[in-house]
C-alpha cells in the first residue's frame, strides 16, 4: 500500500512537471478518520498530498464528463489534459465514458492501480457500536482504530470490505496508460449473484414487499444519482418538467418511478462500483436492483460492462436471434 | 319520494363490473394498421384498450409504461412489427432487447407477469390483433385492478 502510494505520488509529480496532464484527479486524506476525499491536483508540489489506502472508495470517474463538457454557448470545450487515478471499477466506468463519447481518449491519462478491495466505513462504524472513532490507519492487512478513550482496536480488513468489492471480478483496471505496480489483487470472494438469485426465488409478493420496503426509506435526495458516474446528463429526467417524467412528490409511486427510471438507465452500463449504495444516507439496497440488470444483461446478451471500448453497448445493438419467447 | 337513479352502468365503479383499462402502444407501420384492419374487417374484440400510436415500438420508453401504470392503466401492451419488418430497419430488434430486460425487471420488483405485455402484429394481421387484445384483456382481468405503482394508492 505504502509502496503504491509513493509510486503514485512520483508518477503524478512527473506527469504534472512534464506537462503531460494539466489536472490530476486522485484521493487525499479526508478530515475524518476512515475517509479519503477526492482531490484535484494541478501543481507539482501538491502531488505529495495524494494518498492510496483501503479508504479510497469514491469512484472518481464521476467527475470526468463534467470536466470535458463543452460550454453550452460557445459549444467549445476547454483544451486540457486530465489524469485520473482508477481502481478496477472506476476504470470500467471510464471505459463506459469513452464508449459513450463523453471523454476524449487523447486528453485522458489513465493511471491504473490494482485494487485489493476497499473498506466499507459503515461496517466498521456498526461493529464499534456507537464508539467514536478518533483515528484510523492501516497496518499489514489490519485496520487500527483508536476510540474516544484512547483504546486501540484491531480489525481484520477482510471482514469489512465493501459488498461490491467482495464480488468484484476486475480488481485490475482493464485499460490504462500507466499501471502502478503493486501487490496483486485478490480473487473475488463469494458467489457473484447470490443475493439477486435469493430474491428472484422468492414469491412475487415477497419481491414486491422488498421493493416497497426499500423504496419507502427514500428521501429523494438524489445522492445515488449524483454519485453515479453514469449519470452525467446535464438535465436529468427526474427534474425535467417538459415533459414531467416523474412527479416530484413523496408519493411512493413517484419515488418508485424515479428509481425505476434511474435504475433502467444503468442497464448495460452499470459496473457495480457501489457508489450509489455508499452515497445513500438511508441505507437502501440499491445494488440488489442494479445487479439484477447486470445479471440479466449478461444472461440475455452475453455482455460484460466496462471491459472493452469497442464493443457496442448491449441496448444499442441486437442479434437476429435474441430472445423472443416473451413476445406474443 | 326518492327518485330512482337510472341505472346506465353508472360512473361509480361499484355500480358495475370492473373493466380493465389497457393502454396499447401500437407502432404506426404495423400494429396500428393491424388494428385498423381489425376494425375495417368488423372483427370483434374487447373495447378495453386505449390506443396510443407511436412511430416505432422502440419509441416506447420504459417510463411511458411505468407512467401508464401509475396513472390508471391496469395493463400495458406494446406492439410492433415482426422481426425483419421494421419500417426503420432495426427498431423492433432494439425494442426487443429493451423490453426483455424491462419485463424481467418489473417481475423482479413484484409487478405481476401479464400486467405488461408485448406482441408483434403486422398490418395484415387483423385477426391476430383481435386475439392478442382478447388474451391481454383476459390476463389482466384475472389479475384484477392494478394496485402496485398506482399513484396515491400504492398497495
Ligand atoms: S448505478 Fe451505482 S453501482 Fe452502478 S455505476 Fe452507478 S453508482 Fe456505480
Ligand atoms: S441516495 Fe438513497 S435516499 Fe437519496 S434518492 Fe437515492 S435512494 Fe433515495
Query: Quick one: closest CA in A to B84, which residue?
Result: A320
For a ligand 2 pocket test, name from A218, A255, A256, A265 the mutation site with the most ligand atoms within 8 angstroms of its C-beta: A218
pLDDT in tens, A124-171: 999 988 888 888 888 888 899 998 888 889 998 888 999 999 888 889
Q: Classify burial at B61, counting beta carbons within 10 Å of its beta carbon; exposed 0-12, middle 13-18, buried 19 or more.
A: middle
- Facing residue for B101 by CB, picked from A247, A297, A317: A297
- Please check whether residues A21 and A107 belong to one and the same domain: yes
CB B75 within 8 A of CB B140: yes
pLDDT in tens, A21-70: 999 999 999 888 889 999 999 999 999 999 999 999 999 999 999 999 98
Number of domains in chain A: 3
- Please check whether residues A305 and A289 belong to one and the same domain: yes
Collapsing DSSP to helix, strand or coil, A139 comes out as: strand
Please confirm whether the linkage preceding A258 is cis (ω < 30° from 0).
no
- Please check whether residues A299 and A218 belong to one and the same domain: yes
Question: Which grid coordinates are listed for A270?
Answer: 452499470
Contact B108 A323 (CB under 8 A): no
Which of the ligands is closest to the CA of residue A273?
1
- Please check whether residues A234 and A295 belong to one and the same domain: yes
- Please check whether residues A42 and A176 belong to one and the same domain: yes
- Please check whether residues A155 and A101 belong to one and the same domain: no
Query: With bands split at pLDDT 50, 70 and 90, how would you rate the model's confidence at A184?
Result: low
In this prediction the ipTM stands at 0.90
Query: Quick one: closest CA in A to B118, which residue?
Result: A327
- Facing residue for B120 by CB, picked from A257, A316, A327: A327
Determine which residue's CA is closest to atom 2 belonging to ligand 2. A280
- Please check whether residues A149 and A215 belong to one and the same domain: no
Q: What is the DSSP letter of A10?
A: H
Task: Please give all residues whose beta carbon lies within 6 A of any atom in ligand 1, as ranges.
Answer: A 227-230, 266, 270-276, 290
Query: Quick one: closest CA in A to B132, which residue?
Result: A328
**Cα dihedral sign, A292-A253-A226-B59:** positive
pLDDT (mean) for B57-75: 94
CA A261 to each of CA A255, A265, B93: distance values in angstroms, whole numbers, following the listed order = 10, 6, 21
pLDDT for the residue B7: 46
Judged by a CB distance cut-off of 8 A, whether residue A318 touches chain B is yes
Q: How far does the centroid of ligand 2 lie from the alpha carbon of residue A35, in Å?
A: 21
pLDDT for the residue A183: 73
Half-sphere CA count of A144, side-chain side, radius 13 A? 6
Mutate to test the interface with A, among B24, B25, B97, B122 (most CBs of A within 10 A): B97
Task: Label residue A189 left, alpha or beta by phi (over 0 means left) and psi (-120 to 50 means alpha).
Answer: alpha
Query: With bands split at pLDDT 50, 70 and 90, how would you rate the model's confidence at A189?
Result: low
pLDDT for the residue A190: 66
Q: How far does the centroid of ligand 1 lie from the alpha carbon of residue B128, in Å?
A: 42
Please name the residue ranges forming H helices in A266-306: 275-279, 286-301
- Please check whether residues A16 and A92 belong to one and the same domain: yes
pLDDT for the residue A187: 64
Residue-range domains of chain B with CATH: 22-143 (3.40.50)
Collapsing DSSP to helix, strand or coil, B17 comes out as: coil
Considering just the CA atoms, what is the radius of gyration of chain A in Å? 21
Collapsing DSSP to helix, strand or coil, A140 comes out as: coil
Give residue A133's domain range. Answer: 121-160
Pairing of strands A36-41, A23-29: antiparallel
- Please check whether residues A71 and A100 belong to one and the same domain: yes
- Please check whether residues A203 and A327 belong to one and the same domain: yes
Cα(A127)–Cα(B62) distance, integer angstroms: 41
- Please check whether residues A138 and A243 belong to one and the same domain: no
- Please check whether residues A265 and A145 belong to one and the same domain: no
Amino acid at each position: 500500500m505504502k509502496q503504491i502510494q509513493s509510486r503514485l505520488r512520483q508518477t503524478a509529480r512527473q506527469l504534472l512537471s512534464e506537462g503531460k496532464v494539466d489536472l490530476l484527479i486522485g484521493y487525499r486524506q479526508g478530515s475524518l478518520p476512515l475517509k479519503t476525499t477526492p482531490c484535484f491536483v494541478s501543481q507539482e508540489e501538491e502531488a505529495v498530498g495524494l494518498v492510496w489506502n483501503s479508504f479510497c472508495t469514491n469512484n472518481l470517474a464521476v467527475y470526468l464528463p463534467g470536466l470535458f463538457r463543452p460550454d453550452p454557448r460557445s459549444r467549445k470545450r476547454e483544451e486540457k489534459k486530465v489524469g485520473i487515478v482508477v481502481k478496477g471499477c472506476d476504470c470500467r466506468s471510464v471505459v463506459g465514458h469513452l464508449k459513450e463519447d463523453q471523454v476524449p481518449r487523447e486528453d485522458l491519462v489513465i493511471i491504473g492501480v490494482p485494487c485489493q478491495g476497499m473498506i466499507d466505513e459503515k461496517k466498521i462504524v456498526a461493529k464499534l457500536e456507537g464508539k467514536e472513532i478518533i483515528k484510523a490507519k492501516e497496518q499489514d492487512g489490519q485496520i487500527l482504530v483508536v476510540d474516544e478513550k484512547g483504546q486501540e482496536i484491531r480489525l481484520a480488513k477482510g471482514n469489512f470490505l465493501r459488498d461490491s468489492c467482495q464480488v468484484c471480478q476486475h480488481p485490475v483496471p482493464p485499460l490504462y496508460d500507466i499501471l502502478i505496480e503493486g501487490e496483486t489483487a485478490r480473487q473475488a470472494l463469494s458467489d457473484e449473484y447470490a443475493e439477486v438469485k435469493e430474491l428472484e426465488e422468492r414469491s412475487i409478493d415477497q419481491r414486491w414487499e422488498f421493493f416497497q420496503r426499500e423504496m419507502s426509506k427514500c428521501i429523494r435526495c438524489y445522492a445515488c444519482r449524483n454519485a453515479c458516474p453514469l449519470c452525467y446528463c446535464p438535465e436529468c429526467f427526474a427534474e425535467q418538467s417538459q415533459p414531467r417524467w416523474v412527479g416530484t412528490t413523496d408519493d411512493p409511486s413517484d419515488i418508485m418511478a424515479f428509481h425505476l427510471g434511474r435504475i433502467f438507465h444503468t442497464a448495460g452500463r452499470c459496473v457495480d462500483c457501489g457508489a450509489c449504495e455508499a452515497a445513500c444516507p438511508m441505507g437502501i439496497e440499491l445494488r440488489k436492483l442494479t445487479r439484477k440488470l447486470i445479471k440479466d444483461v449478461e444472461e440475455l446478451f452475453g455482455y460484460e460492462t466496462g471491459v472493452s471500448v469497442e464493443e457496442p453497448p448491449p441496448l444499442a445493438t441486437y442479434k437476429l436471434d435474441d430472445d423472443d419467447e416473451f413476445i406474443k | 319520494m326518492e327518485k330512482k337513479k337510472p341505472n346506465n352502468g353508472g360512473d361509480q365503479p361499484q355500480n358495475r363490473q370492473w373493466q380493465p383499462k389497457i393502454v396499447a402502444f401500437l407502432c404506426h407501420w404495423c400494429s396500428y394498421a393491424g388494428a385498423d384492419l381489425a376494425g375495417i374487417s368488423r372483427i370483434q374484440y374487447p373495447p378495453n384498450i386505449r390506443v396510443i400510436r407511436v412511430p416505432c415500438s422502440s419509441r416506447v420508453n420504459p417510463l411511458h409504461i411505468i407512467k401508464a401504470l401509475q396513472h390508471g392503466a391496469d395493463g400495458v401492451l406494446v406492439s410492433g412489427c415482426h422481426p425483419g419488418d421494421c419500417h426503420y430497419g432495426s427498431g423492433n430488434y432494439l425494442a426487443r432487447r429493451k423490453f426483455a430486460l424491462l419485463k424481467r425487471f418489473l417481475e423482479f420488483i413484484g409487478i405481476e407477469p401479464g400486467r405488461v405485455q408485448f406482441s408483434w402484429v403486422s398490418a395484415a394481421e387483423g385477426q391476430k390483433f383481435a386475439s392478442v387484445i382478447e388474451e391481454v384483456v383476459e390476463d389482466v382481468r384475472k389479475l384484477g385492478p392494478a394496485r402496485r405503482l398506482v399513484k396515491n394508492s400504492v398497495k
